[in-house]
Amino acid sequence: MGHPLRYNFKQSETQFQTIKTMGMASAMPIVIFEEIAMPDETTSKAARRQIANEFKERKVPRGIFAVRCSATGEAWVGSSPNLTSARNSLWFQLGVGQYRNALLQQAWKQYGETAFALEVLEQFDDETSPLLLNDLYTVKKKEWVQTLAAHTL
């Protein structure tokens, strides 16, 4: 089975082609197709497999973070198994008004995105047992909430 072809579309505003549709002539722009060679299927599968394996084996930082509001000085402490994606997730939920913490959502609405920053407070080792992680998140989050006199996420 052949490879599907991908095309780049180029359209010239000055080139038109007249076609007849049901006896009526209409002007349509000419679309010029430029063929792009696709990689060999086996190479493509191997490359995808390698990328997937690298993604699975990557080390993601996990730990405790704080969201701080510069306008009020308030802080909220949370934990995440992926600190890299924690900010994106929080900012998205806050931006659409769907975050579960009403105090943080209200402050976000009042002061806007520019007043907030995410700070990593503590990062856990990759060797930490997955069985201990939930307890570690709970204990460390409580410690940081007390230390910073912050709210819990």
CA distance 4 to 41: 11
Residue 67 neighbours by CB distance under 10 Å: 25
Number of domains in the chain: 1
| DSSP result, 89-112 | HHHHHHHTT--S-HHHHHHHHHH-
Question: Does 27 reside within a domain?
Answer: no
Task: State which residues form the domain around 119.
Answer: 62-152
Question: Does 129 reside within a domain?
Answer: yes
Question: Does 117 reside within a domain?
Answer: yes
The mean per-residue pLDDT over the stretch 27-31 comes to: 44
Question: Does 47 reside within a domain?
Answer: no
Question: Does 119 reside within a domain?
Answer: yes
Q: What is the sign, positive or negative, of the torsion defined by CA atoms of 118, 147, 77, 132? A: positive
CATH code assigned at 108? 3.40.1440.10
pTM above 0.75, yes or no: no
Question: Does 5 reside within a domain?
Answer: no
- Give me the pLDDT at residue 39, please: 54
Q: Is the pLDDT of residue 31 over 70?
A: no
Question: Does 125 reside within a domain?
Answer: yes
Phi, psi of 112 (to 5 degrees): 85, 165
6 pLDDT band (50/70/90 cuts)?
Answer: very low
Q: For 76-122, how does the pLDDT look when each residue is reduced to its tens digit (9 = 90+)?
A: 999 999 998 999 999 999 999 999 999 999 999 999 999 999 999 99
Q: For 12-22, how does the pLDDT look when each residue is reduced to its tens digit (9 = 90+)?
A: 333 333 333 34
Question: Does 124 reside within a domain?
Answer: yes
- Give me the pLDDT at residue 41, please: 56
